[in-house]
Structure 1
Amino acid sequence: MLPLQQGVLDPQQYVPPLISAITTVVLFIVVFIVIYLLGKYFITQVVEAGLTRRDFDDALVGLAVSTTIVITAVVAVALAATIAGFGVVLAAFATLAGALALAVGFAAQDLIANFVAGVFIIQDEPFKTGDWVEWNGNGGVVREIQLRVTKLDTFDNQLVTVPNSDLANAAVINNVANDQRRVSVGFGIGYDDDIEQARDAITEEGTDIEGVLEDPEPSAPVTELGDSAVVLQGRVWIDPTASSYGAIRSQFVEAVKERFDAEDIDMPYPNTELSGGIKLTNASDITQATSD
Protein backbone atom coordinates (compact mmCIF):
# COMPACT_ATOMS: atom_id res chain seq x y z
CA MET A 1 0.00 0.00 0.00
CA LEU A 2 2.93 2.35 0.59
CA PRO A 3 4.00 2.65 -3.06
CA LEU A 4 0.41 3.34 -4.06
CA GLN A 5 0.16 6.03 -1.45
CA GLN A 6 3.39 7.59 -2.71
CA GLY A 7 2.03 7.62 -6.26
CA VAL A 8 -1.12 9.57 -5.35
CA LEU A 9 -0.96 13.24 -6.43
CA ASP A 10 -1.58 15.80 -3.69
CA PRO A 11 -3.68 18.70 -5.00
CA GLN A 12 -2.53 20.88 -2.16
CA GLN A 13 0.93 21.19 -3.63
CA TYR A 14 -0.44 23.15 -6.62
CA VAL A 15 -2.45 25.63 -4.57
CA PRO A 16 0.38 28.00 -3.59
CA PRO A 17 1.81 28.35 -7.15
CA LEU A 18 -1.69 28.84 -8.52
CA ILE A 19 -2.49 31.52 -5.95
CA SER A 20 0.84 33.21 -6.69
CA ALA A 21 0.16 33.22 -10.42
CA ILE A 22 -3.35 34.60 -9.98
CA THR A 23 -2.07 37.26 -7.59
CA THR A 24 0.61 38.30 -10.08
CA VAL A 25 -1.86 38.54 -12.95
CA VAL A 26 -4.38 40.47 -10.84
CA LEU A 27 -1.64 42.81 -9.64
CA PHE A 28 -0.52 43.38 -13.24
CA ILE A 29 -4.06 44.15 -14.39
CA VAL A 30 -4.81 46.48 -11.48
CA VAL A 31 -1.54 48.40 -11.80
CA PHE A 32 -1.96 48.69 -15.58
CA ILE A 33 -5.52 50.01 -15.29
CA VAL A 34 -4.62 52.54 -12.60
CA ILE A 35 -1.54 53.87 -14.40
CA TYR A 36 -3.23 53.92 -17.80
CA LEU A 37 -6.40 55.69 -16.67
CA LEU A 38 -4.58 58.26 -14.54
CA GLY A 39 -1.95 58.87 -17.21
CA LYS A 40 -4.53 59.09 -19.98
CA TYR A 41 -6.64 61.58 -18.06
CA PHE A 42 -3.94 63.91 -16.75
CA ILE A 43 -1.27 63.74 -19.45
CA THR A 44 -3.66 64.09 -22.38
CA GLN A 45 -5.30 67.05 -20.67
CA VAL A 46 -1.92 68.74 -20.27
CA VAL A 47 -0.88 68.01 -23.88
CA GLU A 48 -4.18 69.16 -25.38
CA ALA A 49 -4.33 72.34 -23.28
CA GLY A 50 -0.70 73.21 -24.03
CA LEU A 51 -1.00 72.79 -27.80
CA THR A 52 -4.36 74.55 -27.96
CA ARG A 53 -2.98 77.49 -25.99
CA ARG A 54 -0.19 77.83 -28.56
CA ASP A 55 -2.73 77.87 -31.42
CA PHE A 56 -1.68 74.59 -33.00
CA ASP A 57 -3.91 73.17 -35.74
CA ASP A 58 -6.75 70.93 -34.54
CA ALA A 59 -5.41 68.04 -36.64
CA LEU A 60 -2.04 68.25 -34.90
CA VAL A 61 -3.67 68.51 -31.48
CA GLY A 62 -5.73 65.38 -32.18
CA LEU A 63 -2.65 63.56 -33.45
CA ALA A 64 -0.64 64.54 -30.37
CA VAL A 65 -3.43 63.38 -28.04
CA SER A 66 -3.74 60.03 -29.85
CA THR A 67 0.03 59.52 -29.73
CA THR A 68 0.06 60.40 -26.03
CA ILE A 69 -2.60 57.76 -25.34
CA VAL A 70 -0.57 55.09 -27.13
CA ILE A 71 2.61 56.04 -25.27
CA THR A 72 0.72 56.05 -21.98
CA ALA A 73 -0.53 52.52 -22.68
CA VAL A 74 2.99 51.27 -23.46
CA VAL A 75 4.41 52.87 -20.31
CA ALA A 76 1.56 51.44 -18.26
CA VAL A 77 2.31 47.92 -19.57
CA ALA A 78 6.02 48.31 -18.77
CA LEU A 79 5.45 49.60 -15.23
CA ALA A 80 2.76 47.06 -14.47
CA ALA A 81 4.95 44.22 -15.71
CA THR A 82 7.86 45.46 -13.60
CA ILE A 83 5.78 45.77 -10.43
CA ALA A 84 4.12 42.39 -10.98
CA GLY A 85 7.47 40.70 -11.50
CA PHE A 86 7.23 40.01 -15.24
CA GLY A 87 10.83 41.05 -15.79
CA VAL A 88 11.75 38.25 -18.16
CA VAL A 89 8.59 38.74 -20.20
CA LEU A 90 9.16 42.48 -20.30
CA ALA A 91 12.73 42.07 -21.54
CA ALA A 92 11.61 39.73 -24.30
CA PHE A 93 8.81 42.11 -25.23
CA ALA A 94 11.24 45.04 -25.40
CA THR A 95 13.61 43.12 -27.65
CA LEU A 96 10.81 42.06 -29.97
CA ALA A 97 9.36 45.58 -30.06
CA GLY A 98 12.75 47.07 -30.91
CA ALA A 99 13.31 44.65 -33.77
CA LEU A 100 9.80 45.24 -35.06
CA ALA A 101 10.19 49.02 -34.88
CA LEU A 102 13.46 48.82 -36.83
CA ALA A 103 11.91 46.67 -39.55
CA VAL A 104 8.86 48.90 -39.85
CA GLY A 105 11.08 51.98 -39.96
CA PHE A 106 13.05 50.69 -42.94
CA ALA A 107 9.91 49.53 -44.73
CA ALA A 108 8.00 52.76 -44.21
CA GLN A 109 10.62 55.45 -44.79
CA ASP A 110 8.57 57.23 -47.46
CA LEU A 111 5.41 56.97 -45.39
CA ILE A 112 7.15 58.45 -42.36
CA ALA A 113 8.70 61.22 -44.47
CA ASN A 114 5.27 62.15 -45.86
CA PHE A 115 3.77 62.04 -42.39
CA VAL A 116 6.43 64.36 -40.92
CA ALA A 117 6.11 66.70 -43.91
CA GLY A 118 2.35 66.79 -43.38
CA VAL A 119 2.84 67.84 -39.77
CA PHE A 120 5.07 70.75 -40.85
CA ILE A 121 2.69 71.78 -43.65
CA ILE A 122 -0.27 71.86 -41.28
CA GLN A 123 1.68 73.78 -38.65
CA ASP A 124 3.61 76.23 -40.87
CA GLU A 125 0.67 76.83 -43.26
CA PRO A 126 2.53 77.71 -46.47
CA PHE A 127 -0.90 77.21 -48.02
CA LYS A 128 -4.38 76.32 -46.87
CA THR A 129 -7.55 74.83 -48.32
CA GLY A 130 -8.79 76.90 -51.26
CA ASP A 131 -5.39 78.40 -52.17
CA TRP A 132 -4.04 78.28 -55.72
CA VAL A 133 -0.50 76.93 -55.55
CA GLU A 134 2.19 75.97 -58.06
CA TRP A 135 5.24 73.71 -57.63
CA ASN A 136 7.72 72.07 -60.01
CA GLY A 137 5.70 73.10 -63.06
CA ASN A 138 2.42 71.83 -61.59
CA GLY A 139 -0.49 73.77 -60.14
CA GLY A 140 -3.94 73.50 -58.66
CA VAL A 141 -6.36 74.61 -55.98
CA VAL A 142 -5.93 72.89 -52.62
CA ARG A 143 -8.94 70.75 -51.79
CA GLU A 144 -7.73 68.95 -48.65
CA ILE A 145 -4.56 68.72 -46.55
CA GLN A 146 -4.03 65.36 -44.87
CA LEU A 147 -1.13 64.11 -42.79
CA ARG A 148 0.25 61.94 -45.62
CA VAL A 149 -0.96 63.61 -48.84
CA THR A 150 -2.43 66.85 -50.12
CA LYS A 151 -5.30 66.76 -52.63
CA LEU A 152 -5.64 69.48 -55.27
CA ASP A 153 -8.01 70.24 -58.13
CA THR A 154 -6.46 71.34 -61.43
CA PHE A 155 -8.11 73.97 -63.62
CA ASP A 156 -9.24 71.11 -65.88
CA ASN A 157 -11.13 69.74 -62.84
CA GLN A 158 -8.75 66.83 -62.33
CA LEU A 159 -7.94 65.58 -58.85
CA VAL A 160 -4.22 65.45 -58.07
CA THR A 161 -2.97 63.64 -54.96
CA VAL A 162 0.54 64.77 -54.00
CA PRO A 163 2.74 63.21 -51.27
CA ASN A 164 3.44 65.83 -48.65
CA SER A 165 7.20 65.26 -48.85
CA ASP A 166 7.13 66.45 -52.49
CA LEU A 167 5.49 69.72 -51.46
CA ALA A 168 7.68 70.16 -48.38
CA ASN A 169 10.87 69.80 -50.45
CA ALA A 170 9.75 71.98 -53.37
CA ALA A 171 9.54 75.73 -53.85
CA VAL A 172 5.77 76.23 -53.58
CA ILE A 173 4.26 79.41 -55.05
CA ASN A 174 1.08 80.53 -53.31
CA ASN A 175 -0.69 82.79 -55.79
CA VAL A 176 -3.35 84.02 -53.37
CA ALA A 177 -1.37 84.43 -50.16
CA ASN A 178 -1.12 88.23 -50.42
CA ASP A 179 -3.84 90.86 -50.64
CA GLN A 180 -2.60 92.14 -54.00
CA ARG A 181 -1.22 90.43 -57.10
CA ARG A 182 0.05 91.91 -60.33
CA VAL A 183 -1.22 90.76 -63.72
CA SER A 184 1.44 91.39 -66.36
CA VAL A 185 1.02 91.07 -70.14
CA GLY A 186 3.54 92.02 -72.81
CA PHE A 187 2.16 93.99 -75.79
CA GLY A 188 4.39 94.49 -78.83
CA ILE A 189 3.97 97.52 -81.09
CA GLY A 190 5.73 98.53 -84.28
CA TYR A 191 8.87 100.66 -84.19
CA ASP A 192 7.04 103.38 -86.12
CA ASP A 193 4.11 103.50 -83.65
CA ASP A 194 3.72 106.12 -80.91
CA ILE A 195 4.77 104.64 -77.54
CA GLU A 196 2.77 107.17 -75.50
CA GLN A 197 -0.37 106.46 -77.50
CA ALA A 198 0.04 102.74 -76.95
CA ARG A 199 0.78 103.26 -73.25
CA ASP A 200 -2.36 105.34 -72.77
CA ALA A 201 -4.44 102.71 -74.55
CA ILE A 202 -3.08 99.92 -72.33
CA THR A 203 -3.53 101.75 -69.03
CA GLU A 204 -6.99 103.06 -69.88
CA GLU A 205 -8.25 99.65 -70.90
CA GLY A 206 -6.76 98.12 -67.77
CA THR A 207 -8.46 100.72 -65.58
CA ASP A 208 -11.87 99.97 -67.11
CA ILE A 209 -11.76 96.26 -66.21
CA GLU A 210 -13.92 95.37 -63.22
CA GLY A 211 -11.81 93.95 -60.42
CA VAL A 212 -8.64 95.91 -61.24
CA LEU A 213 -7.44 97.96 -58.27
CA GLU A 214 -7.03 101.73 -58.49
CA ASP A 215 -3.97 101.62 -56.25
CA PRO A 216 -1.42 100.66 -57.50
CA GLU A 217 -2.66 102.15 -60.75
CA PRO A 218 -2.17 100.40 -64.10
CA SER A 219 1.12 101.03 -65.88
CA ALA A 220 2.85 100.08 -69.13
CA PRO A 221 6.62 100.58 -69.12
CA VAL A 222 8.78 99.63 -72.10
CA THR A 223 10.53 96.41 -71.12
CA GLU A 224 12.13 95.20 -74.34
CA LEU A 225 13.25 96.28 -77.78
CA GLY A 226 12.60 93.12 -79.71
CA ASP A 227 13.64 92.10 -83.19
CA SER A 228 10.23 93.02 -84.59
CA ALA A 229 8.49 95.06 -81.91
CA VAL A 230 8.80 97.46 -79.02
CA VAL A 231 7.37 95.59 -76.01
CA LEU A 232 5.32 97.43 -73.40
CA GLN A 233 4.44 95.38 -70.35
CA GLY A 234 0.90 96.14 -69.29
CA ARG A 235 0.56 95.86 -65.49
CA VAL A 236 -2.62 95.88 -63.46
CA TRP A 237 -3.17 94.84 -59.84
CA ILE A 238 -5.98 92.71 -58.42
CA ASP A 239 -7.12 91.20 -55.15
CA PRO A 240 -6.59 87.47 -55.87
CA THR A 241 -9.15 86.44 -53.27
CA ALA A 242 -11.88 88.55 -54.91
CA SER A 243 -11.02 88.34 -58.63
CA SER A 244 -9.87 85.55 -60.91
CA TYR A 245 -6.35 86.02 -62.25
CA GLY A 246 -7.10 84.12 -65.44
CA ALA A 247 -10.33 86.00 -66.13
CA ILE A 248 -8.76 89.42 -65.57
CA ARG A 249 -5.77 88.59 -67.76
CA SER A 250 -8.03 87.37 -70.57
CA GLN A 251 -10.14 90.52 -70.45
CA PHE A 252 -7.04 92.68 -70.37
CA VAL A 253 -5.52 91.07 -73.47
CA GLU A 254 -8.76 91.22 -75.45
CA ALA A 255 -9.51 94.83 -74.52
CA VAL A 256 -6.05 96.07 -75.48
CA LYS A 257 -6.10 94.15 -78.78
CA GLU A 258 -9.43 95.74 -79.74
CA ARG A 259 -8.17 99.20 -78.71
CA PHE A 260 -5.00 98.79 -80.79
CA ASP A 261 -7.07 97.75 -83.80
CA ALA A 262 -9.36 100.75 -83.37
CA GLU A 263 -6.41 103.18 -83.20
CA ASP A 264 -4.40 101.46 -85.95
CA ILE A 265 -1.57 100.59 -83.60
CA ASP A 266 0.43 97.80 -85.19
CA MET A 267 1.06 94.56 -83.29
CA PRO A 268 3.75 93.04 -85.53
CA TYR A 269 4.53 89.36 -85.60
CA PRO A 270 8.16 88.21 -85.79
CA ASN A 271 9.70 88.65 -89.23
CA THR A 272 13.16 88.55 -90.72
CA GLU A 273 14.49 90.95 -93.37
CA LEU A 274 17.19 89.68 -95.72
CA SER A 275 19.57 92.15 -97.30
CA GLY A 276 22.29 91.81 -99.91
CA GLY A 277 22.31 90.46 -103.44
CA ILE A 278 22.33 87.23 -105.37
CA LYS A 279 25.17 86.42 -107.73
CA LEU A 280 24.47 84.05 -110.59
CA THR A 281 27.13 81.94 -112.27
CA ASN A 282 26.86 80.12 -115.57
CA ALA A 283 23.91 82.28 -116.57
CA SER A 284 24.27 81.13 -120.19
CA ASP A 285 23.42 77.58 -119.17
CA ILE A 286 20.27 78.81 -117.44
CA THR A 287 19.28 80.86 -120.54
CA GLN A 288 19.81 77.87 -122.84
CA ALA A 289 17.80 75.59 -120.56
CA THR A 290 14.97 78.09 -120.50
CA SER A 291 14.87 78.45 -124.30
CA ASP A 292 14.79 74.68 -124.73
Structure 2
Amino acid sequence: MDFEGMLQYILEGALRFVPRLVAALVMFVATLVLSSWVARWVSRTVRSKIDDPETVKLLSRLARWGVAVLGTILALDQVNFDVTGFLAGLGVAGITIGFALQDISRNFVAGMLLLLRQPFGIGDAVKIADHTGSVMTITTRDTVLKTWDGEMVILPNIDVFTSAITNYSELPNRRRTVFVGLGYDEDVSHAQRLFLETIRGVEGVLAEPAPTVYAEELGDSALTLAARFWVNQQAHSLLETHSRVVQAIKEVAEQEGIDLPYPTQTVRVAGGGTS
Protein backbone atom coordinates (compact mmCIF):
# COMPACT_ATOMS: atom_id res chain seq x y z
CA MET A 1 0.00 0.00 0.00
CA ASP A 2 1.45 3.39 -1.06
CA PHE A 3 1.59 6.42 1.22
CA GLU A 4 -1.50 8.09 -0.25
CA GLY A 5 -3.52 4.90 0.15
CA MET A 6 -2.38 4.51 3.75
CA LEU A 7 -3.25 8.14 4.49
CA GLN A 8 -6.67 7.74 2.94
CA TYR A 9 -7.26 4.58 4.98
CA ILE A 10 -6.33 6.42 8.19
CA LEU A 11 -8.58 9.36 7.34
CA GLU A 12 -11.52 7.10 6.56
CA GLY A 13 -10.99 5.26 9.83
CA ALA A 14 -10.80 8.55 11.72
CA LEU A 15 -14.00 9.77 10.07
CA ARG A 16 -15.75 6.60 11.16
CA PHE A 17 -14.32 6.83 14.70
CA VAL A 18 -14.90 10.54 15.39
CA PRO A 19 -18.73 10.31 15.52
CA ARG A 20 -18.43 7.35 17.90
CA LEU A 21 -15.96 9.30 20.05
CA VAL A 22 -18.24 12.35 20.14
CA ALA A 23 -21.21 10.16 21.08
CA ALA A 24 -19.14 8.52 23.82
CA LEU A 25 -18.04 11.89 25.20
CA VAL A 26 -21.61 13.22 25.17
CA MET A 27 -22.82 10.08 26.91
CA PHE A 28 -20.06 10.33 29.51
CA VAL A 29 -20.82 13.98 30.29
CA ALA A 30 -24.53 13.20 30.49
CA THR A 31 -23.71 10.36 32.86
CA LEU A 32 -21.81 12.71 35.17
CA VAL A 33 -24.74 15.13 35.24
CA LEU A 34 -27.24 12.31 35.80
CA SER A 35 -25.14 10.74 38.56
CA SER A 36 -25.03 14.06 40.44
CA TRP A 37 -28.80 14.46 40.12
CA VAL A 38 -29.44 10.88 41.29
CA ALA A 39 -27.08 11.36 44.25
CA ARG A 40 -28.97 14.50 45.36
CA TRP A 41 -32.33 12.76 44.94
CA VAL A 42 -31.19 9.74 46.98
CA SER A 43 -29.80 12.06 49.65
CA ARG A 44 -33.10 13.95 49.98
CA THR A 45 -35.20 10.79 49.98
CA VAL A 46 -33.08 8.86 52.47
CA ARG A 47 -32.61 11.86 54.78
CA SER A 48 -36.38 12.05 55.29
CA LYS A 49 -36.40 8.46 56.59
CA ILE A 50 -33.00 7.95 58.23
CA ASP A 51 -31.51 10.21 60.90
CA ASP A 52 -27.91 9.23 60.21
CA PRO A 53 -25.73 11.59 58.11
CA GLU A 54 -23.04 8.96 57.44
CA THR A 55 -25.56 6.47 56.07
CA VAL A 56 -27.18 9.15 53.92
CA LYS A 57 -23.77 10.14 52.54
CA LEU A 58 -22.82 6.52 51.86
CA LEU A 59 -26.03 5.71 50.00
CA SER A 60 -25.73 8.92 48.02
CA ARG A 61 -22.18 8.02 46.97
CA LEU A 62 -23.20 4.48 46.04
CA ALA A 63 -25.96 5.86 43.82
CA ARG A 64 -23.56 8.34 42.21
CA TRP A 65 -20.88 5.74 41.49
CA GLY A 66 -23.42 3.18 40.32
CA VAL A 67 -24.80 5.53 37.67
CA ALA A 68 -21.30 6.74 36.75
CA VAL A 69 -19.96 3.21 36.24
CA LEU A 70 -22.97 2.18 34.15
CA GLY A 71 -22.72 5.29 31.98
CA THR A 72 -18.96 4.85 31.54
CA ILE A 73 -19.45 1.26 30.37
CA LEU A 74 -22.06 2.38 27.83
CA ALA A 75 -19.76 5.18 26.64
CA LEU A 76 -16.83 2.78 26.21
CA ASP A 77 -19.06 0.47 24.21
CA GLN A 78 -19.58 3.31 21.71
CA VAL A 79 -15.88 3.25 20.81
CA ASN A 80 -15.80 -0.57 20.52
CA PHE A 81 -14.00 -1.04 23.83
CA ASP A 82 -13.97 -4.66 25.05
CA VAL A 83 -16.72 -4.15 27.62
CA THR A 84 -17.20 -7.89 28.17
CA GLY A 85 -13.60 -8.38 29.24
CA PHE A 86 -13.79 -5.26 31.40
CA LEU A 87 -16.92 -6.54 33.17
CA ALA A 88 -15.33 -9.95 33.64
CA GLY A 89 -12.34 -8.29 35.28
CA LEU A 90 -14.63 -6.28 37.55
CA GLY A 91 -16.47 -9.45 38.48
CA VAL A 92 -13.28 -11.27 39.46
CA ALA A 93 -12.08 -8.25 41.43
CA GLY A 94 -15.45 -7.99 43.15
CA ILE A 95 -15.41 -11.64 44.19
CA THR A 96 -11.86 -11.31 45.52
CA ILE A 97 -12.68 -8.19 47.51
CA GLY A 98 -15.91 -9.79 48.71
CA PHE A 99 -14.06 -12.74 50.21
CA ALA A 100 -11.49 -10.46 51.81
CA LEU A 101 -14.15 -8.19 53.32
CA GLN A 102 -16.79 -10.83 53.99
CA ASP A 103 -17.77 -9.67 57.49
CA ILE A 104 -17.90 -6.03 56.45
CA SER A 105 -20.00 -6.80 53.39
CA ARG A 106 -22.41 -8.98 55.39
CA ASN A 107 -22.93 -6.21 57.94
CA PHE A 108 -23.38 -3.69 55.14
CA VAL A 109 -26.04 -5.76 53.37
CA ALA A 110 -27.78 -6.47 56.68
CA GLY A 111 -27.69 -2.74 57.46
CA MET A 112 -29.28 -1.92 54.11
CA LEU A 113 -32.05 -4.45 54.71
CA LEU A 114 -32.67 -3.09 58.21
CA LEU A 115 -32.87 0.46 56.86
CA LEU A 116 -35.38 -0.68 54.24
CA ARG A 117 -37.51 -2.73 56.65
CA GLN A 118 -37.22 -0.23 59.51
CA PRO A 119 -38.21 -2.61 62.36
CA PHE A 120 -37.25 0.16 64.78
CA GLY A 121 -36.15 3.78 64.82
CA ILE A 122 -33.93 6.10 66.83
CA GLY A 123 -35.18 6.31 70.42
CA ASP A 124 -37.32 3.17 70.26
CA ALA A 125 -37.27 0.82 73.25
CA VAL A 126 -36.31 -2.60 71.90
CA LYS A 127 -35.07 -6.03 72.83
CA ILE A 128 -32.57 -7.55 70.41
CA ALA A 129 -31.40 -11.05 71.34
CA ASP A 130 -30.46 -10.70 75.03
CA HIS A 131 -30.00 -6.93 74.97
CA THR A 132 -32.73 -4.46 76.00
CA GLY A 133 -32.56 -0.68 75.77
CA SER A 134 -33.24 2.34 73.58
CA VAL A 135 -31.81 2.71 70.07
CA MET A 136 -29.11 5.39 69.91
CA THR A 137 -27.85 5.09 66.32
CA ILE A 138 -28.37 2.92 63.25
CA THR A 139 -25.65 2.79 60.60
CA THR A 140 -24.80 0.47 57.74
CA ARG A 141 -22.26 -1.25 59.99
CA ASP A 142 -23.89 -1.60 63.39
CA THR A 143 -26.75 -0.68 65.70
CA VAL A 144 -26.03 0.98 69.06
CA LEU A 145 -28.28 0.48 72.09
CA LYS A 146 -28.28 2.26 75.43
CA THR A 147 -29.39 -0.21 78.08
CA TRP A 148 -31.59 0.75 81.03
CA ASP A 149 -28.43 0.61 83.18
CA GLY A 150 -26.78 3.29 81.03
CA GLU A 151 -24.43 0.93 79.19
CA MET A 152 -23.73 1.26 75.47
CA VAL A 153 -24.03 -1.95 73.44
CA ILE A 154 -22.76 -2.07 69.84
CA LEU A 155 -24.42 -4.84 67.83
CA PRO A 156 -23.18 -5.85 64.35
CA ASN A 157 -26.03 -5.50 61.89
CA ILE A 158 -25.81 -9.13 60.80
CA ASP A 159 -26.55 -10.15 64.41
CA VAL A 160 -29.44 -7.69 64.61
CA PHE A 161 -30.90 -8.88 61.31
CA THR A 162 -30.80 -12.57 62.27
CA SER A 163 -32.08 -12.09 65.84
CA ALA A 164 -35.60 -11.83 67.21
CA ILE A 165 -36.51 -8.15 67.63
CA THR A 166 -39.10 -6.90 70.10
CA ASN A 167 -40.08 -3.27 69.58
CA TYR A 168 -41.73 -1.98 72.75
CA SER A 169 -42.36 1.45 71.21
CA GLU A 170 -44.20 0.28 68.09
CA LEU A 171 -47.57 0.01 69.87
CA PRO A 172 -48.54 2.59 72.51
CA ASN A 173 -50.36 0.28 74.94
CA ARG A 174 -48.41 -2.13 77.13
CA ARG A 175 -49.73 -4.67 79.62
CA ARG A 176 -48.19 -5.12 83.05
CA THR A 177 -48.75 -7.83 85.66
CA VAL A 178 -48.49 -7.58 89.45
CA PHE A 179 -48.50 -10.84 91.41
CA VAL A 180 -50.05 -10.66 94.88
CA GLY A 181 -49.80 -13.40 97.51
CA LEU A 182 -53.12 -13.76 99.39
CA GLY A 183 -53.47 -15.61 102.68
CA TYR A 184 -55.42 -18.86 102.47
CA ASP A 185 -57.83 -17.67 105.16
CA GLU A 186 -58.87 -14.63 103.13
CA ASP A 187 -62.01 -14.27 101.00
CA VAL A 188 -60.62 -14.52 97.47
CA SER A 189 -63.64 -12.99 95.72
CA HIS A 190 -63.67 -10.01 98.09
CA ALA A 191 -59.94 -9.44 97.58
CA GLN A 192 -60.32 -9.65 93.81
CA ARG A 193 -63.10 -7.06 93.75
CA LEU A 194 -61.24 -4.76 96.13
CA PHE A 195 -57.94 -4.92 94.23
CA LEU A 196 -59.70 -4.49 90.88
CA GLU A 197 -61.49 -1.36 92.08
CA THR A 198 -58.22 -0.03 93.48
CA ILE A 199 -56.31 -0.61 90.23
CA ARG A 200 -58.97 1.16 88.19
CA GLY A 201 -58.43 4.30 90.23
CA VAL A 202 -54.65 4.43 89.77
CA GLU A 203 -53.36 7.22 87.51
CA GLY A 204 -52.12 5.89 84.19
CA VAL A 205 -54.15 2.66 84.15
CA LEU A 206 -56.34 2.44 81.04
CA ALA A 207 -60.06 1.79 81.32
CA GLU A 208 -59.91 -0.12 78.03
CA PRO A 209 -58.57 -2.75 77.79
CA ALA A 210 -59.98 -3.22 81.28
CA PRO A 211 -57.75 -4.41 84.15
CA THR A 212 -58.30 -7.91 85.53
CA VAL A 213 -57.51 -9.79 88.75
CA TYR A 214 -57.47 -13.59 88.56
CA ALA A 215 -56.34 -16.39 90.85
CA GLU A 216 -53.09 -17.65 89.32
CA GLU A 217 -51.80 -20.55 91.43
CA LEU A 218 -51.69 -22.19 94.85
CA GLY A 219 -48.33 -21.40 96.41
CA ASP A 220 -46.62 -22.84 99.49
CA SER A 221 -47.76 -20.05 101.79
CA ALA A 222 -50.28 -18.05 99.75
CA LEU A 223 -52.74 -18.09 96.89
CA THR A 224 -51.26 -16.02 94.07
CA LEU A 225 -53.43 -13.41 92.38
CA ALA A 226 -52.37 -11.95 89.01
CA ALA A 227 -53.43 -8.33 88.59
CA ARG A 228 -53.09 -7.28 84.94
CA PHE A 229 -53.57 -3.77 83.58
CA TRP A 230 -52.73 -1.71 80.51
CA VAL A 231 -50.76 1.54 80.26
CA ASN A 232 -50.40 3.99 77.38
CA GLN A 233 -46.63 4.39 77.52
CA GLN A 234 -46.73 7.49 75.34
CA ALA A 235 -48.84 9.29 77.97
CA HIS A 236 -47.60 7.73 81.22
CA SER A 237 -44.42 6.16 82.50
CA LEU A 238 -44.72 2.37 82.49
CA LEU A 239 -42.53 1.87 85.56
CA GLU A 240 -44.12 4.69 87.56
CA THR A 241 -47.63 3.40 86.87
CA HIS A 242 -46.56 -0.12 87.84
CA SER A 243 -45.11 1.24 91.08
CA ARG A 244 -48.32 3.16 91.86
CA VAL A 245 -50.40 0.02 91.37
CA VAL A 246 -48.17 -2.01 93.73
CA GLN A 247 -48.33 0.70 96.39
CA ALA A 248 -52.11 1.08 96.04
CA ILE A 249 -52.68 -2.67 96.45
CA LYS A 250 -50.49 -2.78 99.56
CA GLU A 251 -52.20 0.25 101.12
CA VAL A 252 -55.74 -1.01 100.54
CA ALA A 253 -54.80 -4.45 101.86
CA GLU A 254 -53.47 -2.88 105.06
CA GLN A 255 -56.58 -0.70 105.43
CA GLU A 256 -58.93 -3.66 104.99
CA GLY A 257 -56.84 -6.02 107.10
CA ILE A 258 -56.19 -8.42 104.22
CA ASP A 259 -53.31 -10.79 104.86
CA LEU A 260 -50.50 -10.61 102.30
CA PRO A 261 -48.24 -13.30 103.74
CA TYR A 262 -44.55 -13.75 103.07
CA PRO A 263 -43.01 -17.23 102.80
CA THR A 264 -42.69 -18.97 106.18
CA GLN A 265 -41.35 -22.32 107.26
CA THR A 266 -42.46 -24.43 110.23
CA VAL A 267 -39.84 -26.66 111.84
CA ARG A 268 -41.02 -29.49 114.07
CA VAL A 269 -38.53 -30.73 116.65
CA ALA A 270 -38.73 -34.45 117.46
CA GLY A 271 -40.18 -35.22 120.90
CA GLY A 272 -41.57 -31.81 121.58
CA GLY A 273 -42.99 -28.58 120.44
CA THR A 274 -42.76 -26.48 117.39
CA SER A 275 -40.36 -23.65 116.66
TM-score between the two structures when normalised by the length of structure 1: 0.71
Instruction: Tell me, yes or no, if structure 1 residue 259 matches structure 2 residue 259.
Output: no
Aligned residues: 254
TM-fit CA distance, 1:204: 2.8
User: Given that residues 186 and 231 in structure 1 are in contact (C-alpha distance below 8 angstroms), is that contact kept between their aligned partners in structure 2?
Assistant: yes
1:240 match: 233
- Determine the C-alpha separation between the residues in 2 that align with 1:57 and 1:148: 20
The alignment partner of 1:212 has SS state of coil
1:105 match: 98
Instruction: Tell me, yes or no, if structure 1 residue 78 matches structure 2 residue 73.
Output: yes
TM-fit CA distance, 1:129: 2.0
- Determine the C-alpha separation between the residues in 2 that align with 1:243 and 1:121: 29
TM-fit CA distance, 1:248: 1.4
TM-fit CA distance, 1:56: 11
TM-fit CA distance, 1:86: 4.4
After superposition, where does 1:202-217 map in structure 2 within 5 Å?
Answer: 202-217=195-210
User: Given that residues 35 and 65 in structure 2 are in contact (C-alpha distance below 8 angstroms), is that contact kept between their aligned partners in structure 1?
Assistant: no
* Superposition RMSD in Å: 3.8
Q: 1:199 aligns with which of 192, 197, 214?
A: 192
Percent identical among aligned pairs is: 32
Which structure is larger by alpha-carbon Rg, 1 or 2? 1
The change in CA–CA distance for 1:41 and 1:160 in structure 2 (over 3 A counts) is: closer
- Determine the C-alpha separation between the residues in 2 that align with 1:107 and 1:28: 38
Query: Which has the higher mean CA deviation after the structures are superposed, 213-222 or 256-265?
Result: 256-265
Long gaps (5+) in structure 2? 1-9
User: Given that residues 56 and 123 in structure 1 are in contact (C-alpha distance below 8 angstroms), is that contact kept between their aligned partners in structure 2?
Assistant: no
Over residues 192-219 of structure 1, what are the superposed CA-to-partner deviations in whole Å (9 max), with x where a residue is unaligned? Answer: 1121232233223322221111122222
- Determine the C-alpha separation between the residues in 2 that align with 1:66 and 1:239: 42
The alignment partner of 2:178 has SS state of strand
User: Given that residues 175 and 240 in structure 1 are in contact (C-alpha distance below 8 angstroms), is that contact kept between their aligned partners in structure 2?
Assistant: no
- Determine the C-alpha separation between the residues in 1 that align with 2:100 and 2:256: 68
The alignment partner of 2:76 has SS state of helix
TM-score between the two structures when normalised by the length of structure 2: 0.75
Over residues 143-171 of structure 1, what are the superposed CA-to-partner deviations in whole Å (9 max), with x where a residue is unaligned? Answer: 22222222222122222222222222112
TM-fit CA distance, 1:139: 0.4
Q: 1:218 aligns with which of 211, 222, 231?
A: 211
The change in CA–CA distance for 1:157 and 1:56 in structure 2 (over 3 A counts) is: closer
| AA aligned opposite 2:204 | G
